[in-house]
Amino acid sequence: MLKARFIIVNFVVCMWLLVGVASASEVRVFKPMEEGVSPMALRKTAMAEGFAQAVLEEAKLMLPGDMDEVRTELFKAYLKDHSQPYIQGYKVLSSQSMEAGLILRLDVKVNKLTLRNGLKSMGLFTTMNSPQSASVVWPEDFDEASMTQLQGLMTLTGIQAVQGASPTFVIEQGPKEIYKARFELDTREWVSTNKDMSVVWFELWSRYFNRSEANVNRANVQKLSVTGWFSPDAALEFDRVLQSWDSTVQEVRLVELDMQPSGVGGTWEVRLLSGDRLAMLLQGYLPQRGLTYQISEDAGK
Amino acid sequence: MSLRMFILTTAILLAFPAWALSFQGFVQSFDEGGSITWGNGDVTVVRVLLPPGEDSSVKLTPLSVRKVASSARKQMLDMIMSVRIDGKRTVSAFLSDDAELAARVRGVVHNSPFERPAMFEDGGEVRVSEKFRGKLAELVLPTTIQFQSGVPPKLSTSMEQNLSYQDGVPEEAGVGARGYTGVIIDASGLQVTPALAPVIYGQDGLGAYGPFLVSRANAINKGVVAYANTSNPTALRDRVGNNPLTVRALSAYGSWRTDLIISSPMAQLVRSVMRSGSAAANCRVVIVLKTPVKVDSEADVQSEEGLQPVKEQ
């Protein structure tokens, strides 16, 4: 019976890993032919859309909750112009040009570390499950397009505008369609200027989310203890395995290696993206190697 | 059928597909229950635990089981270290220059899957296993090997005059090669040492197949070649497809007889097969060896007759 349960757990873990890997790498895009758009430009747009789709799929695996439809669309639209830093490489698997449009199949390799840092800076880890209150101030004569874009950025980041709340984000529209914004937090202030409102927005909000991230996510840090090795090399190898489960744990830190005559044990602090997934992976990996583990929530206390 | 049985059956079928069970290939046996299955890359050590009373020196406690597992893993590490990467070096020789990499290999071995008896009182066996695929292969295959370079290695001297035997001249190279789905090299009449990255040469001295045609990723995940102890195409179908080309090896080459020589016309045909279709991409090459032999697990020591180093030709 134990063996049967063991096989089922392994199977589920394997399937989960396979699905995770496959969904992140290969994307298929169809771009309908548009009048006045050259084949080259159409291909460029299709590529950008393919990259955005690949990054979005990878981000969904990393984030600690499900994005709602509106937020997903906003994020995808944002990524069409801003996915480049997250693309490690790509391969065009096939390109089929028809009268109706272009079908492009891409194998995209996403840089997970950069993406994770990007998602952190954008506040998506923090606001995925509960919005962040802030004062957001814009000029009375803000044009409609700018207003729509600002509201989209607020929804994407998960910012709930509350009058008088801290931090404060103040945006102005300067000459030559340049946006200038100021971000106030406690007694500190940052300023950013750019033609692209999203650049201004995320540059300033990254100050906040990167600064406060450690405190915000402390609740997700847990202690993982594993015992049963015969060699410290084995514990260090498991450290690498743990680090590679990057859609399950956001940060991994080996805090203690306990070497006793009876065996070697290790203790890690892990910042979780999904406790259930981690438990499933541990169950699929450790018992079959004669190892036992325990997860507790008292890390850092 | 109950839901539980249905899930279990489906899980087994999906988790262990038929191809994984059907082809194990050539089994190289080592002392004390060790074996390397060169078809699928499995490295296994099995130790039998006797129930109390039968052997007073081994008491079946959790600690003694762990000690046996630890000793089995040490043996498995020795076996892995003794494996030849190619004609020039063993895993041990390769890792001797890189302490960090050696520690990682030790880490993988000491984290290897481990099976033990459910009830210690009844005796049973402890089994530790690893695979020369995936992570372990990634660590032990040197990055200095020129995978998929497309440039065939060349022997310093042509073998044309050295070997009198030649296969019947096959069809002209490139004409019918498209139909072949893989290659079986029959080396069953020769003493050959299995290796992770062997090269098949033509008598003309030019490489016909080897790491130079295979991507590093495929070498890691599939193995450059598989070794089998039968040349029956049906048994090898999973690896070489439905219509493999069978070629007889004329001799083994190199100090440790890891590489093989085939006739020049056959080498041309093999090159054509590798150029067409997905044979090279899927490492669809099997080397057939004679009946398994038992060897010591000491690194760099091959004690069996016929596995002694021979002078480079």
pLDDT at B294 over 70: no
Distance of CA A155 to the CA centre of its chain: 16
What pLDDT does A236 receive?
92
Write the CATH number for A137: 3.30.160
E-strand stretches of chain B: 27-30, 34-37, 42-49, 114-115, 124-131, 182-186, 200-202, 207-209, 226-228, 244-248, 251-253, 259-262, 285-288, 294-295
Same domain, yes or no: A169 and A181:
yes
| CATH number assigned to the domain comprising residue A230 | 3.30.70.360
The pLDDT value recorded for residue B300 is: 40
Same domain, B117 and B23: yes
Give the model's pLDDT for residue A175: 82
Task: Classify residue B305: in a domain, yes or no.
Answer: no
C-alpha distances (whole Å) from B250 to each of A63, A70, B259, B311 are 59, 68, 11, 17
| Mean pLDDT, range A64-68, rounded to an integer | 84
How far off is chain B from A9, nearest CA to CA, in Å? 9
Q: Examine residue B152 and state whether it is found in any structural domain, yes or no.
A: no
| Alpha carbon distance A39, B166 (integer Å) | 56
Residue B266 has a CB neighbour count (10 Å cut-off) of: 27
Choose between A102 and A36: higher pLDDT.
Answer: A102
Q: Which of A90-104, A204-218, A282-296, B23-37 has the lowest mean pLDDT?
A: A204-218
The answer to the question of residue A120 being in a domain is no
B111 and B194 co-located in one domain: no
Interface check A263 vs B, CB under 8 A = yes
Identify which has the larger pLDDT, A226 or A24.
Answer: A226
Q: Check whether residue B22 and residue B110 sit in a common domain.
A: yes
Whether the CB-CB separation of B200 and B263 falls below 8 Å is answered with no
Mean pLDDT of B48-60: 62
Q: What is the pLDDT of residue B18?
A: 43
Q: Is residue A87 within 8 Å of residue A107, measured between CB atoms?
A: no
Q: B301 or A267, which is more confident?
A: A267
The reply to whether A106 falls in a domain is yes
Least confident piece of the model among A100-114, A158-172, B154-168: B154-168
Q: By the CB < 8 Å criterion, does A245 face chain B?
A: no
- Of the candidates B70, B110, B114, the beta carbon closest to that of A233 is on B110
Between residues A3 and A208, which one has the greater pLDDT?
Answer: A208
Partner residue facing A237 (CB), from B63, B104, B116:
B104
Read off the pLDDT of each residue in B8-12 and give the average, rounded to a whole number: 53
Terminal-residue alpha carbon distance, chain B: 64
C-alpha span between A45 and A43 (Å, rounded): 5
Cβ partners under 8 Å of residue A241, min gap 6: A285, B111
CB atoms within 10 A of CB B185: 27
Apex CA A290: angle with CA A284 and CA A296, to 5°? Answer: 65
Does the pLDDT value for residue A230 go beyond 50?
A: yes
pLDDT, position B89: 94
Is residue A44 situated within a structural domain?
Answer: yes
Does residue B306 surpass a pLDDT of 50? Answer: no
Q: Looking at the structure, tell me whether residues A175 and A242 fall in a common domain.
A: no
- pLDDT at position A17 is 41
Tell me what pLDDT residue B258 has. 95
| Contact between A11 and B14 using a beta-carbon 8 Å cutoff | yes
Q: What per-residue confidence (pLDDT) applies to A90? A: 86
B41 touches B223 (CB < 8 A): yes
Q: Determine the residue among A289, A291, A292, A293 to mutate to test chain B binding: the one whose Cβ has the most chain B Cβ atoms within 10 Å.
A: A289
User: Which of B110, B115, B215 is best to mutate for the A interface (most A CBs within 10 A)?
Assistant: B110
Residue with tokens 């594993």: A226
Please give the average per-residue pLDDT across B164-168, as a whole number: 48
Determine the residue of chain A that is closest to B112 in CA distance.
Answer: A289
Residue A33 maps to a domain:
yes
Contact by Cβ (8 Å): A130, A44? no
Q: How many whole angstroms separate alpha carbon B50 and alpha carbon B47?
A: 10
Contact A230 B115 (CB under 8 A): no
- CATH code (residue A17): 3.30.1660
Token output for B191? 């003493």
In a domain, B158, yes or no: no
Is residue A102 pLDDT above 80, yes or no? yes
Tell me, yes or no, whether B82 and B181 share the same domain.
Answer: no
Q: Name the residue range of residue B68's domain.
A: 17-140
B125 and B33 assigned to the same domain? yes
* Contact predicate B273/B51, CB 8 Å: no
Residue A284: closest C-alpha in chain B: B113
Omega before residue A167 within 30° of 0, cis:
yes
- Name which of B66, B116, B109 is nearest A3 in CA terms: B116
C-alpha dihedral over B58, B64, B69, B75, to 10 degrees?
-50
- Specify the DSSP element, H or E, that contains B237: helix B237-240
Q: Do A236 and A180 have their domain in common?
A: no
Domain carrying residue A185: 126-216
Residues A187 and A223 in one domain: no
Chain B residues close to A233, C-beta within 8 Å:
103-104, 106-107, 110
Q: Is the pLDDT of residue A12 over 60?
A: no
- A204 and A232 both lie in a single domain: no
> Is some CB atom of chain B closer than 8 A to the CB atom of A44?
no
The reply to whether B113 falls in a domain is: yes
Angstrom distance (rounded) from CA A128 to CA A59: 12
> Chain B: which residues have CB within 8 Å of chain A?
4, 7-8, 11-12, 14-15, 63, 66, 69-70, 73, 103-104, 106-108, 110-116, 118
Torsion of CA A178, A182, A183, A187, to 10 degrees: 160
Predicted-complex ipTM score:
0.71
The reply to whether A33 and A90 lie within a common domain is yes
For residue A177, the model assigns a pLDDT of: 82
Which of A52-56, A58-62, B275-279 tops mean pLDDT?
Answer: A52-56
Using the beta-carbon criterion (under 8 Å), do B114 and A288 form an inter-chain contact?
A: yes
**Whether pLDDT at B1 is above 90:** no
pLDDT for position B66: 79
Q: Find the length of chain A.
A: 301
Residues A243, A190 share a domain: no
Q: Which of A225-234, B137-146, B155-164 has the least mean pLDDT?
A: B155-164
Q: What pLDDT, on the 0 to 100 scale, is given for residue A1?
A: 47
Residue of B111, B126, B131, B215 to mutate for A, most A C-beta atoms under 10 A = B111
Taking contacts as CB-CB distances below 8 angstroms, the residues of chain B near A10 are 11, 15
Angle formed by the axes of helices A2-25 and A39-62, nearest 10°: 150
CA distances from A111 to A25, A117, A210, B203 (A): 11, 10, 19, 46
**Interior CA angle at A73 toward A116 and A155, to 5°?**
75
Shared domain check, A139 and A85: no
Sign of CA dihedral B90, B94, B99, B102: negative
B159 phi/psi in degrees, rounded to 5 = -95, 5
Is B231 a member of any domain? yes
Sign of CA dihedral B17, B22, B26, B29: positive
Residues A235, B111: Cα–Cα separation, whole Å: 8
Mean pLDDT across chain B = 81
Distances (CA, A) of A176 to A173, A180, A193, A195, A199: 9, 11, 12, 8, 16
At A23, is the pLDDT very low, low, confident or very high (cuts 50, 70, 90)? very low
Quickly state the pLDDT bin for A297 (edges 50, 70, 90): confident
Number of domains in chain B: 2
- Is A137 found in the same domain as A102? no
Per-residue pLDDT, averaged over B258-272, amounts to: 94
Spell out which residues of chain A touch residue B113, defining contact as CB-CB under 8 Å: 288-289
CB–CB of A290 and B114 under 8 A? yes
Pair B29, B133 in one domain? yes
- Quick one: A240 and A288 in the same domain? yes
**For residue B174, pLDDT beyond 50:** no
Position A221 pLDDT exceeds 50: yes
Across B186-210, average pLDDT: 94
Quick one: pLDDT band at residue B175, thresholds 50, 70, 90? very low
Q: Last residue of a domain, which of A188, A216, A244?
A: A216
Last residue of a domain, one of A196, A216, A236: A216
Bridge partners (DSSP) of residue B295 are B30
Residue B150 lies inside a defined structural domain of this protein: no
More confident site: B159 or A72 = A72
Q: Are residues B217 and B116 in the same domain?
A: no
The per-residue pLDDT for B302 is 38
| Total structural domains within chain A | 3
Same structural domain for residues B125 and B200? no
**Mean pLDDT, residues A216-237 taken together:** 84
A290 touching B (Cβ < 8 Å): yes
Q: Quickly state the pLDDT bin for A246 (edges 50, 70, 90).
A: confident
C-beta separation of B201 from B259 below 8 A: yes
- Chain A nearest-CA residue for B68: A230
Domain boundary among A216, A250, A284: A216
B100 burial (CB, 10 Å; 0-12 / 13-18 / 19+) is exposed
| Placement of tokens 């002209």 in the chain | B172
Quick one: which of A63, A208, A79 has its CA closest to A136?
A208
State whether B230 and B282 are in the same domain. Answer: yes
Residues A195 and A227 in one domain: no
Q: How many CB atoms lie within 10 A of CB A118?
A: 20
Is residue A80 over pLDDT 90? Answer: yes
- Following DSSP, what letter does each residue of A62-122 receive, concatenated? HSSSPPPHHHHHHHHHHHHHH-GGGEEEEEEEEEEE-SSEEEEEEEEEE-HHHHHHHHHHH
If you ran DSSP here, which 8-state letter would residue B215 be given?
Answer: -
In sequence order, the 6+-apart residues with CB closer than 8 A to the CB of A222 are: A269, A270, A272, A275, A295, A296, A297, A299
Do A226 and A239 reside in the same domain of the chain? yes
* A219 inside 8 A of chain B by CB: no
What's the pLDDT at A120? 87
Q: What pLDDT was estimated at residue B114?
A: 87
pLDDT band at A88 (very low <50, low <70, confident <90, very high): confident
Mean pLDDT, rounded, of chain A = 85
Rounded (10°) CA dihedral A241, A245, A249, A251: 50
Give first-to-last CA distance, chain A, whole Å. Answer: 39
Question: What does the pLDDT look like over B97-133, one tens digit per residue?
Answer: 899 999 999 999 999 998 887 655 567 788 999 999 9
Residue B11 in any domain: the answer is no
**Chain B partners of A263 at a C-beta cutoff of 8 Å?**
66
Residue B148 inside a domain? The answer is no
How far lies B55's CA from each of A264, B58, B204, in Å? 28, 6, 59
> What residues of chain A lie within 8 A of the CB of B63, using their CB?
262
Residue A118 lies in a domain: no
Q: Is residue A156 part of a domain?
A: yes
